[in-house]
């Protein structure tokens, strides 16, 4: 089977104009985690699915994911992604927007190459389109939170469900569909993706404070610098005493000249209220739900080992 990088090269071969397709090639060929295509293939393998059938679905979801990254980085004014300049920084915002748009169209074309019954392709395409819409909804909620003084944790979790978890869910369910999985297993795969995506994003929030730039692939402290209401911040507010609560609110309402001092002050409060442990406990809860979902998948236990390994890896990830 060709690697996904070879697929991308074939998809982009001899396409012009270069200023449209070079940024697409640039982001697709970076060494990202490739979690989403991995999930498609792992789910298909649970039911002895044909990897040649799954590869087009896997590539399409990876392309959709990278479209969201290109546009997110413009909105977040992020300079670095995967240790490299972001697309809009390397080119410009107009080119990045257009390349992102083209990437969605290319992803849909790739999806339609899947050698499955028309009804299966229709179902996967519906999942794909719904995910694209839900990611946009999640991103808008995230933008709305910037101007809200208080964000309930439940609303934050719903936002990350839309922005991150539904993609995981769609990848796993689509992999199962390609392989002809039964309805109960398909639902279990979808639920697994939701719980895994929530755990993944909470870990991401934690790494933004407690990770390192070398392993995280982007600068740490970005959420604090940008006053983003991450799970770690919202949980810290919940755990803080009155003075800590007020200090956090004050720190997150300013953009000081010395960003490092602000980061250290915020982190000191996070440490004092044990928010790292509280967030890790929440990640653990979602991980346990993942294991319960895996138990509901109708296939041999031996075939479940790759998905169990993936869940365990994401729970303890450093990047």
Cβ atoms within 10 Å, residue 75: 11
Return d(Cα 97, Cα 92) in angstroms, integer: 9
Domain that holds residue 93: 4-315
Q: Could you identify the residue written with the tokens 């740490």?
A: 220
Q: What is the mean pLDDT of residues 280-305?
A: 97
Percent of the chain at pLDDT exceeding 70: 97
Q: What are phi and psi of 254, to 5 degrees?
A: -125, 160
Q: What pTM value is reported for the model?
A: 0.94
HSE value, Cβ hemisphere, 13 Å, CA-based, for 25? 15
pLDDT at 256: 81
CATH number of the domain within which 268 lies: 1.10.600.10
Total domain count, the chain: 1
HSE value, Cβ hemisphere, 13 Å, CA-based, for 255? 5
Q: Are 262 and 251 in contact (CB under 8 A)?
A: yes
Return d(Cα 238, Cα 255) in angstroms, integer: 23
Please report which confidence band the pLDDT of residue 176 belongs to, taking 50, 70 and 90 as the band edges: very high
Q: What is the DSSP letter of 48?
A: T
H or E element in which residue 227 lies: none
Q: Is the pLDDT of residue 217 over 80?
A: no
pLDDT, one tens digit per residue, over 16-40 is 999 999 999 999 999 788 999 999 9
pLDDT at 1: 44
Q: What is the DSSP letter of 257?
A: S
Q: Is the pLDDT of residue 212 over 90?
A: no
H or E element in which residue 1 lies: none
Gyration radius of the chain's alpha carbons: 20
Residue 314 makes CB contacts below 8 A (sequence gap 6+) with 35, 196, 199, 200, 203
Q: What is the mean pLDDT of the chain?
A: 95
pLDDT, one tens digit per residue, over 224-274 is 998 999 999 999 999 999 999 999 999 999 888 889 999 999 999 999 999
Q: What is the mean pLDDT of residues 95-124?
A: 97
Q: Are 141 and 159 in contact (CB under 8 A)?
A: yes
pLDDT at 216: 62
Q: Is the pLDDT of residue 77 over 60?
A: yes
- Token pair for 119: 């009804």
Helix residue spans in 77-182 (DSSP H) = 87-90, 93-111, 118-145, 153-160, 166-178
pLDDT, one tens digit per residue, over 180-205 is 999 999 999 999 999 999 999 999 99
């Amino acid at each position: 089977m060709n690697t996904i990088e070879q697929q991308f090269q074939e998809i982009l071969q001899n396409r012009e104009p270069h200023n449209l397709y070079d940024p697409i090639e640039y982001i697709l060929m970076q060494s990202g985690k490739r979690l989403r295509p991995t999930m498609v293939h792992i789910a298909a393998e649970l039911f002895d699915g044909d990897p040649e059938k799954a590869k087009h679905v896997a590539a399409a979801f990876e392309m959709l994911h990278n479209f969201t990254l290109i546009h997110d980085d413009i909105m977040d004014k992020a300079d670095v992604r995967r240790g490299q300049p972001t697309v809009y920084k390397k080119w410009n915002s107009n080119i990045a927007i257009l390349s992102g748009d083209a990437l969605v169209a290319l992803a849909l074309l790739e999806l339609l190459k899947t050698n499955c019954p028309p009804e299966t392709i229709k179902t996967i395409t519906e999942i794909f389109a719904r995910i694209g819409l839900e990611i946009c909804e999640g991103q808008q909620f995230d933008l709305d939170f910037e101007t809200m003084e208080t964000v309930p944790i439940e609303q934050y979790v719903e936002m990350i469900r839309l922005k991150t978890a539904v993609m995981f869910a769609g990848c796993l369910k689509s992999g199962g569909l390609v392989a002809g999985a039964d309805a109960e297993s398909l639902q279990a795969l979808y639920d697994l993706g939701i719980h895994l995506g929530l755990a993944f994003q909470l870990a991401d929030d934690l790494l933004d404070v407690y990770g390192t730039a070398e392993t995280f692939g982007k600068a740490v402290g970005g959420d604090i610098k940008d006053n983003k209401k991450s799970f770690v911040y919202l949980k810290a507010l919940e755990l803080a005493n009155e003075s800590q609560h007020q200090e956090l609110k004050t720190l997150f309402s300013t953009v000081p000249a010395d960003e490092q001092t602000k980061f250290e002050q915020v982190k000191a409060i996070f440490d004092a209220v044990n928010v790292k442990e509280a967030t890790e406990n929440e990640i653990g809860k979602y991980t346990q739900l993942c294991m319960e979902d895996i138990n509901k998948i109708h296939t041999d236990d031996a075939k479940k080992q790759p998905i169990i390994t993936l869940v365990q890896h994401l729970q303890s990830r450093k990047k």
